[in-house]
A and B are shown apart, each in its own frame.
Chain A
Amino acid sequence: MGTKKQKTNKKPSGKVLETKRKRLLFLAKMEPRKMILYPLVVFLLAALILAFHPPEKGIDLKGGVVITVYHVSASPSELKNYVKEKTGINVRAEEFKDPVTGLSGIRLYAPAGSDPDKLSDVIKSKYKDADITPRVVDPTFGKIAQRQGIKAILYAFLGMAVVVFLFFRDPVPSGTIIFSAFSDMVIALAMMGVLGIELTTATIAALLMLIGYTVDSNILLTTRLLRRKEDTVEDAYLSAVSTGFTMSTTTLGALIILWLVSTSEVIDNITIVLIFGLLADFMNTWIFNAGVLRWYIASPFKFTIKLRGGK
């Protein structure tokens, strides 16, 4: 319906694209060597952080007891002390609040092996209206979930690598895409460690989602540069990076809204991991991968590129 109203805006739209490209021109002017170097430094830094400060495992991977109590009139420390006094179990209490539904509650984290029924009975006996949601994970199950999670990421990654390689049939561009995806994950994991986001099944799902996004942007870039129809590599890169910029900002915007609106811990953690993963991906695709490709296209070692598909 808005089409008629916007007719007068036709020209500005062209301008917007143009200014965007101008703004991104600094990327095109960067030396390929630096483009490769900086992201590598970031990757190494992230790897170092990851090595010394890996993200904590959440209870679904580690095992333990979490009791979420809604509709309770006590403060977290009150509840904690009450539980400690009645059961002798040392719990960690944390308050949370949902700005949309106005729902608030307290999460109690108890060590693995604590009796959830006892805890909920004790709470229920003092706070009659409390809505209690226990979650219990046995450490052995945590180990199984852990193994499955690692397997999931590994297989998804291998599958991605094989398909990317089959599409481009050229070790350098495919290798770079695979490395970019890997670096995205390492950076996202390092950020999780820094921000204290736990590694859970949900965040593993987020890491898997990252593979999808990474592949999207990297394939776009590689295709645009290798099947270039523009006059120069710079032009091709500029048009690709402007598309990439639109893609990333749109997804990031949607994710930030999701993060603001949702209070579900699961969705919050997924979006945070994705936001950092996508920021890392912007760097790895449009700086690192672009740098490698620009160097590669100009280098004498270049393979004869034969791309399949399309006419």
Chain B
Amino acid sequence: MARKKGVKALILNWRVLLLILFLIGSIASISTRGLTYGIDIGGGVALVAEPEKSVSKDTLNGIITSLQNRLNTFGVKDITIEAQHDPETGRSLIVVKIANVTLDEAKQIKDLIESQGVLYLEFNGVVFATGTDVTVHSSNYGLNLRKCSTCWYVGFDLSGRAKERFKEIAAGKAGWPVDIYLDPPVNSLLVVSPRVYNEMQDFLGEPEPGTGTPKPLVQRISEAFNITVVEYSNQTAEDIVENATALGKDKIILADVPEELYSEVKESVLSRDLELRVSHYTPQQGEDLKDFVKRTLNLYGPYVLSKDTATDLLKGNTETGFQLTGIAPTKEEALQEARKIYSVLRSGSLTVKLHVVNEEYISPTLGASFKKQAAIAGIGALIAVLLIVYFHYRRWKIAIPVASTSLFEVIIILGIAALIRWNLDLPSIAGIIAAIGTGVDQQVVITDELLGGTAGGVTRRMSTLRRMARAFFVIFASATTTIVAMSFLLVYFVGTLKGFAVTTILGVLIGVLITRPAYAEIAKYLLSLE
């Protein structure tokens, strides 16, 4: 009977009660809200981008809003964008994390982030609007089923000035191509293979009869962006570089030409110490030549001026806005195309170009195997603790409480992580391991103080209370040290190690405030039974 009362008193002890409450709360929190994982565990892509030149905090925030817009309209979920501004160096970093995407989507996202240059709308060799002139209303895109089942459209509006210019050049020219460029290679020499050159003569849209003939793409980009296209007919690298310098270009682009030419041109530029950038594009397997040209030029489209818009322009009736239209092979592709162009138009252009400096992709299936592994490793470590503690004390009465307290600690840390929607990544898990490790250490300290005077022939000179006080002095001292050390990380360092600091601090706090006092009570009770 006395023993039963003891159990009751133990459970009603506020320290134990607190542990039980937290435990129940954590289990509830995990089961209702679920755990969220970082990219390195859950799968997804993590990209770190750096602006090409240093920017102010305001500009950075502007970039982030635009990026957010662009990625949202691209149609991916679970995006986090975080900015890091280092006041010391004036450098800024933008961290973009997107969960659950395929490798192809990850590549597209990277392109989307990097092609944040300037948006140009060009018609027949004239740039009539740039990013700031374009407004796209929310969800103004989709399939145009009246026209055909795989026809898509994107509606947009232009600023007054751009509207005037557009009216001047495009009125009545239904079916003519409207080109949209994001960061085209302005002022460059483009050397292409004959087949690409031929392809570039096309890109004419579907002009309505009687409206005349639009200029070919080669001429359009030459007039609009000063891009000179040259057909490759075995010119030497020297010739090409000579040509580019004579024309005052800042960039040479080699497309679909032999790889050796690329290295030769690069060498030539290097040996002459010229301020010329050289880049090389080759068609990917199965890539359509048209798509290849578009990729080289960062061209979206060409999209065709719809008949309605053309007549509206003619009549000066531009209140209803404009539409870009196109046809894709399938309904899905049509929607995808519409969504892509919609997001590009909508977010406008950014003041600074971004460059992706760190890229990590984890496929969701691999993420699942990481999770399984982490769980097995955790359980294995817990069993190891149980057995080793048993080996040291030869009492399950100590081993089981020590191991289960550690388990409770993990559950509570995870519960709080679920509550605050902390994304568990590998550093966070390392932090949990650290917290549990020090937790076990401190439980050993408590146990040894409790067992104190009984072994080794040392006289029992201190009361249990005083021994506990000493144990808790050690625990508080080390907890304070760890928390202070880790807080520095949190405040001064907003990097990948943030998760580590958060879970360590969380674990240590939970340990000091909840699990350690409860363990002391439980151990005291169990040992007093002897």
Interface residues of A (CB under 8 A from B): 2-3, 5-6, 9-10, 12-14, 16-18, 20-21, 60, 70, 88, 98, 100-101, 103, 116-117, 120-121, 125, 131-138, 140-141, 144-145, 148-149, 151-152, 155-160, 162-164, 167, 201-202, 204-206, 208-209, 211-213, 215-217, 219-220, 223-224, 227, 229-231, 235, 238-239, 242-243, 246-247, 249-251, 253-258, 260-264, 266-267, 270, 309-311
Contacts and interface: CB of A to CB of B under 8 A. Distances in A.
Contacts of B495: 145, 148-149, 152, 201
Nearest to A245: B392
B150 interface: no
B456 A159 contact: no
A292 B214 CA distance: 89
A215 B484 CA distance: 12
Contacts of A254: 381-382, 384-385, 388, 436-437, 440
B394 interface: yes
A223 B477 CA distance: 10
Given A138-B358, A155-B492, A230-B461, A206 B384 contact: no
Interface stretch (B21-29, B174-182, B187-195, B363-371): B363-371
A152 B495 CA distance: 10
A159 B477 contact: no
B400 A261 contact: no
A215 B500 contact: no
A-B residue pairs, 6 tightest by C-beta: A2-B396, A138-B357, A155-B488, A141-B357, A17-B455, A156-B485
Interface residues of B, number: 100
A243 B444 contact: yes
A215 B478 contact: yes
A261 to B, nearest CB: 4
Contacts of A13: 393-395
Given A116-B359, A125-B285, A250-B389, A257 B383 contact: yes
Contacts of B530: 10
Given A135-B359, A152-B493, A258 B380 contact: yes
A255 B388 CA distance: 12
B470 interface: yes
A165 to B, nearest CB: 10
Given A18-B456, A125-B285, A220-B445, A151 B481 contact: no
B442 A133 contact: no
B504 interface: yes
Most A C-beta atoms less than 10 A away, residue of B382, B444, B493, B495: B444
A135 B380 contact: no
A201 B373 contact: no
Given A145-B495, A159-B487, A249-B388, A3 B396 contact: yes
Contact of A242 (B381, B433, B448): B448
A131 B430 contact: no
B360 interface: yes
B411 interface: no
A100 to B, nearest CB: 6
B421 interface: no
Contacts of A116: 359
A163 B473 contact: no
A13 B447 CA distance: 13
B426 A267 contact: yes
A188 to B, nearest CB: 14
Contacts of A216: 438, 441-442, 474, 478
B377 A262 contact: yes
A6 B487 contact: no
13 contacts: A3-B529, A103-B369, A152-B493, A155-B493, A157-B485, A160-B482, A212-B481, A212-B485, A219-B474, A250-B388, A254-B385, A262-B373, A267-B426
B123 to A, nearest CB: 32
A160 B456 contact: no
B50 interface: yes
Interface in B161-186: none
A151 B22 CA distance: 35
Nearest to A162: B484
A246 B448 contact: yes
Contacts of B392: 16, 20, 246, 249-250
B93 A121 contact: no
B430 A160 contact: no
A23 to B, nearest CB: 12
B486 A156 contact: yes
Contacts of B429: 267
Given A160-B485, A212-B482, A250-B444, A205 B500 contact: yes
A203 to B, nearest CB: 10
B91 A136 contact: no
Given A133-B361, A230-B461, A239-B458, A270 B472 contact: no
Interface in B463-485: 466, 469-470, 472-474, 476-478, 480-482, 484-485
A8 to B, nearest CB: 11
A223 B473 contact: yes
B456 A215 contact: no
Contacts of A156: 485-486, 488-489
A270 B48 CA distance: 24
A121 B284 contact: yes
B376 interface: yes
A220 B362 CA distance: 42
A17 B457 CA distance: 11
A16 B393 contact: yes
A102 B291 CA distance: 40
Contacts of B454: 14
Contacts of B321: none
B64 interface: no
B500 A239 contact: no
B455 A14 contact: yes
A17 B451 contact: yes
A224 B459 CA distance: 15
Contact of A152 (B103, B461, B474, B489): B489
A275 to B, nearest CB: 12
A133 B468 CA distance: 51
Nearest to B486: A156
A160 B478 CA distance: 9
A125 B500 CA distance: 39
A160 B400 contact: no
B441 A213 contact: yes
Contacts of B508: 212
B285 A121 contact: yes
Contact of B472 (A149, A249, A310): A310
A311 B492 contact: no
A253 B387 CA distance: 9
Given A159-B485, A229-B462, A243-B448, A9 B394 contact: yes
